[in-house]
Structure 1
Amino acid sequence: MKDTDFRLDGLEPADEQTANTYDCTWIHDYQTISQHDAGERSFIVAFNPTATWDVPNMPNIVSFDVVRDSKQATFSMHSFEHATLAFAQNWLINRGCPADALAPIADVPKPADELTVRVEDRIRHSGERLEVTERQVIDGDDVEGWSIAVDRHGKDLPVRLFLETLQPDQYTYTVREGAFADHAAADAWLENRSTPLPEAPEYHLNTEALRTSVALSRTASLPPASTVPSAPATPVSSPQPWGRSL
């Protein structure tokens, strides 16, 4: 990964909030995962390799929304920390970044399967529907991280666990979404792992729709019953031996 260039040379913070954010951001520590520049505005997803050196489980993926005003020689900066890439992309999309402009430009692990792509796409395009309440980052030799979020549109199973697992040998990862009635149930599953991760109902619906679509396509491909020729009757007087071709 390359070091992140915030392009702030000669610019001063435009307001107190930006000054505080900038003072708390060691900009030379960040490495770019993805970036979209739109004139004087930059949407950035960056990795901070130093995040967990002092305090364990500090988020090491950060979204930045940077707006520069060259005429005033100022800039504004907003940022948010995340445990996984998809939530970092979601935050920037909610702030106006085109969704297709945030693909990683760094050499990072790739999704291992189609379900991972579907789960991450749901996160990216969920708007403000998912509110993360707990998280565990992947750092060092770790191969697993997770985010627990409340789905504001969820009814019976509003608490969602997004579980990310690395496969270092393949340089890939998987993401799965589990659904729970409350935080206690999600925490209990993380602690015990005695059952498979309870699948979110959204994927049950998608699976049933796929099965229905396949069934309908098979039915449509069959000829009408009246056009299916009947097999010729075998004469009773000359039966065919078992196992011999007609």
Structure 2
Amino acid sequence: MYPPELDLRLDGFEAADEQTQEAFWRAIQIEQTELTPLAEHHAPDGASYHVLHNGAVTWGTPGEPQLVALHLQRDSATKTFRFAHATLPLPAMAQSWLIHRGCPPKEISLAPGRGTTPADEMTHALEQRLMSDGDHFALLHSYTDDDPENSATVVVLRSLDERSPSPFRVFHEDVDTDSWTHTLREGGFATYAEALQWCDDALGGEAPSLPPVQPTVRSAQRPANSLPAPARRPAGRSR
């Protein structure tokens, strides 16, 4: 069974300006034949929300994120469109990105048969939390290993709450290609170096269990200017 072709519903629409057209070509159109739709929602106001898998990434730099979150905005009066997009390592992160841009959470679930299914309730619960709270974290690093014999993704996030005793979070997704399911687990670390080392060990098959996330002690008043600026994402890990 072949995956469905991507239909962005842009027939009769043009990019709002040359800059948008150039950006759209580089981000989406140049690899459109390799983009497989996993979830989509078309709103009455002309906005569309898409979770896409980019098969072209498998031929590029090893470890790069393979998912694209795409937000299209159409102007019916001028027959033009604008867009925003992000490349992300986990479906729940792509869904979160779209939800925080106006997509109803219940409308962006992965279509049946698109991707693997959660292997247990813990995985489902973590994915639901990522979808709702994804904007509470900054993405620092990820690596996607698409080897069928060892299919896994590791992600390092930083909490934007400076009071968190586990400011660096690791999410580890492990895919079982026989059952076509996946598990997702979360761990908490005090430093970025520790989190990154765990990811390297996990990809090498030598990582211990993830340490638990320490609970945050809430104070009555939030300190001013408590959100640090997002850190630059490090270069991907090479094979």
**Does the 8 Å CA contact 2:96/2:130 hold for their aligned counterparts?**
yes
**Does the 8 Å CA contact 2:64/2:142 hold for their aligned counterparts?**
no
2:104 aligned with 1:102, yes or no?
no
Match of 1:146 in 2: 154
Over alpha carbons, which structure has the higher Rg? 1
- CA displacement at 1:122 relative to structure 2: 1.2
Match of 1:28 in 2: 33
Corresponding letter in the other structure for 1:91: W
Please, what TM-score do these two structures have when normalized by structure 1?
A: 0.77
RMSD: 1.8
Q: Compared with structure 1, are the counterparts of its residues 54 and 86 closer, same or farther at alpha carbon in structure 2 (3 Å cutoff)?
A: same
- CA displacement at 1:70 relative to structure 2: 2.6
Please, what TM-score do these two structures have when normalized by structure 2?
A: 0.79
Corresponding letter in the other structure for 1:172: T
**Does the 8 Å CA contact 2:159/2:168 hold for their aligned counterparts?**
yes
- CA displacement at 1:3 relative to structure 2: 1.6
Please give the secondary structure, in 1, of the residue aligned with 2:57.
coil
Aligned residue runs from structure 1 range 222-233, under 5 A: none
Q: Number of residues paired by the alignment? A: 203
Structure 1 residue runs of 5 or longer lacking an equivalent are: 203-246
- Cα distance in 1 for residues equivalent to 2:119 and 2:105: 21
| Counterpart among 4, 7, 29 of residue 5 in structure 1 | 7
Runs of 4+ in structure 1 displaced over 6 angstroms? none
**Does the 8 Å CA contact 1:61/1:81 hold for their aligned counterparts?**
yes
Match of 1:163 in 2: 172
Q: Compared with structure 1, are the counterparts of its residues 7 and 146 closer, same or farther at alpha carbon in structure 2 (3 Å cutoff)?
A: same
Match of 2:68 in 1: 62
Return the structure number with greater relative CO, CA threshold 8 A, min gap 6: 2
Higher mean C-alpha deviation, range 107-116 or range 181-190: 181-190
Corresponding letter in the other structure for 2:184: V
- Cα distance in 2 for residues equivalent to 1:74 and 1:191: 45
- Cα distance in 2 for residues equivalent to 1:22 and 1:199: 41
2:57 aligned with 1:44, yes or no?
no
- Cα distance in 2 for residues equivalent to 1:115 and 1:133: 24
Task: State the identity %.
Answer: 31
Corresponding letter in the other structure for 2:37: T
